[in-house]
A and B are shown apart, each in its own frame.
Chain A
Amino acid sequence: MSKIKYALYTGCTAKESTPELLKSTLAVAEALDIELVQLEEASCCGASHLQDFDDFLSLTLNARNICYAEKLGLTMVTICNTCQLNTSLTKDRLDSDNALKDKVNSKLKEIGLEYKGNVEIKHFLYAIIDDIGVEEIAKRVTKPLKNINIAPFYGCHNIRPSKLQSKNNGNENPYVPDSIERLIDALGGNAIDYEHKNKCCGFHVELQAPKTANKLSGDAMSDAMDNNADVVVTPCPLCHLRLDVQQHNISKEIGRDIQMPVLHLPQMIGLALGLAPEDLGLEHNVSEITFV
């Protein structure tokens, strides 16, 4: 089997406020024998805010990012749910509207690029499930996550809108997603089923409506705690920034002491593959990692 190779779109947070995400992604990729080519030319996806201000600019910038994956002829792999949303939404809109694609390409032409629409865009979670498979990942486990109750927190933009993402996420149903549970099983952990696993963390209104954001994160964390979770795991760094970093504000808002370790998905995989905590950047997590 030839080596699996992806174009990695890191997004911004992995290079700034969640360095542990990038570190653990690279470590897990190496352990799984995946080659990642970082798209160093890529810019911010607009995080679903730039398009509120200037939709066409956001579309053009995202198209440029995709162009660099196309140049490499590699599947573009994202490690942030919102990057996944904005890049795949851009692809979908351009691939289904030639006039819009021509308009965007007329701008890209001025910097010597052309959007073609010939690469797939997938989140790392689904890329490894599709291309390696949970059974194969299970074979590589050296330190099973035995007796650890793990609550998966999916994050919105990997599973919704399902019309857009179903082709990128193995037809995951947004009401009963199960890919992370399957992965947890493969890693020897105990997946917790709880109502809020597919709900919103409120990240996108954190600045303008902090009460809403803290209530939504609080509902999710309370639910995970009520179901005896030892740890929450998420494929999205934006969810992580809320659930991991904002526990003091969440606690204040909902009047309950929320204390729970929160891992990035590749950190969890890395632990089961026997990688060292420092290779997974665990020292960067704000919540105390109590179970390692």
Chain B
Amino acid sequence: MKKYETKKITFNVFRFNSEKDHLPYYIKYDMEVSQDEVVLDILNRIKWEFDGSFSYRRSCRHGICGSCAIKVNGKPVLSCKENVFHLVEIFGEELTLDPQDEKRAIKDMVIDKKNFWEKYSSVKPYLITDIAEHPEKENLISPKEADALDEADYCIQCGNCFYACPSVKANEDYIGPAALLKAFRFNADSRDNAKDERLDIINEEGAGVWDCVKCFECAEACPKDLSPISKITKLHNQIFEESKAKNNVATRHAVGFKSSIKKHGILDEGELVRYSEGNIGVLKHLPEAYEMWKKGKIVMPWNMPKSKNMDEIKKLVDIASTVDF
């Protein structure tokens, strides 16, 4: 029989009480941890064995309520799902436990998630449809229609993707990956009638999909493996498919690639910036353009290289295009 393993592990734990502390601090707890324990067991043991005032959120302990999300060595985890030995394999035998967002800590692991829920509510995350007051049959959808949700309905609103998103940190107006995933989930639902309305919300410059930095932190952070960024891509696609795209720098930036590829195969970088920004907007890039030109980093239009076999590329652009702008 295989030996039941235990390990001595040091947990470096974020402590803060917003009612009396000026600054957060860390306390070290040494524990003998067994191979089956998850991070939530550790949180419980800190409270039960070391300090009854230690605070954290927990509820279902089955990976479905989303309450117990925290960070271990910067990695967003759902405490009740994350095996401690697995984390030791990645980070070694000293683990640092932090709340999802240190700046929003109320007490220890408990944070104020108001910003998450506000963004979440802003996309109308519910089914909007006309249903008879006294329906005579169930409002079913087919397996194929259910597949269109791409498992986005499995989101448990834990907030890991939201608090891991660098764009959310840099821009407090950005709706963020969780709410965008939810917008996709209802837009993809064949029973829903509010796609248009939601697309207007998530198409806003500065708040909507165009502020996604494409870093894939959300895909790593999601305990349900839902890849919020792939849903954000699908929302981008919906904006163009439903002819909701506004003529702005973000949309032109996406569209500009097509004409450049058709013309040169490779991207004409200078022309893409000019096309995206417009003839006046492009002027703000002159300082760096000048520095780049001095260093031989700007290809002049007459020297623009082309891919070989341009006829193939042109033909593919013609026959494989599926959307217009």
Contact = CB atoms under 8 A, between A and B. Distances in A.
B194 interface: no
B190 to A, nearest CB: 20
Interface stretch (B39-47, B179-187, B254-262): B254-262
Nearest to A213: B213
B90 interface: yes
A209 B166 contact: no
Interface stretch (B16-24, B126-134, B204-212): B204-212
Nearest to A17: B297
Contacts of B75: 175
B215 A200 contact: yes
B308 A160 contact: no
B215 A156 contact: yes
A211 B167 CA distance: 10
A50 B216 contact: no
Nearest to B305: A15
B292 A245 contact: yes
B298 to A, nearest CB: 7
List the 5 closest A-B pairs by CB distance, nearest first. A160-B216, A52-B236, A200-B215, A208-B250, A50-B257
A18 B206 CA distance: 29
Interface in B1-48: none
Given A44-B260, A57-B320, A175-B73, A161 B220 contact: yes
A50 B254 contact: yes
Contacts of A216: 166, 170, 213
B214 interface: yes
B211 A209 contact: yes
Interface size class of A (residues with CB under 8 A): 35 or more
Interface string A193-217: 0010001101111011101110110
Interface in B54-70: none
Contacts of B205: 208
B contact face: mostly helix, strand, loop, or mixed: helix
A263 B154 CA distance: 43
Contacts, number: 207
Interface in B244-298: 248-251, 253-255, 257-258, 260-261, 265-267, 269-270, 273, 276-277, 287-288, 291-292, 295-298
Interface in A45-70: 46-57, 60-61, 64
Nearest to A113: B312
A17 B272 CA distance: 13
A211 B170 contact: yes
A143 interface: no
A171 B123 CA distance: 37
A54 B213 contact: no
Given A208-B249, A212-B170, A16 B308 contact: no
A286 B220 contact: no
A64 B316 contact: yes
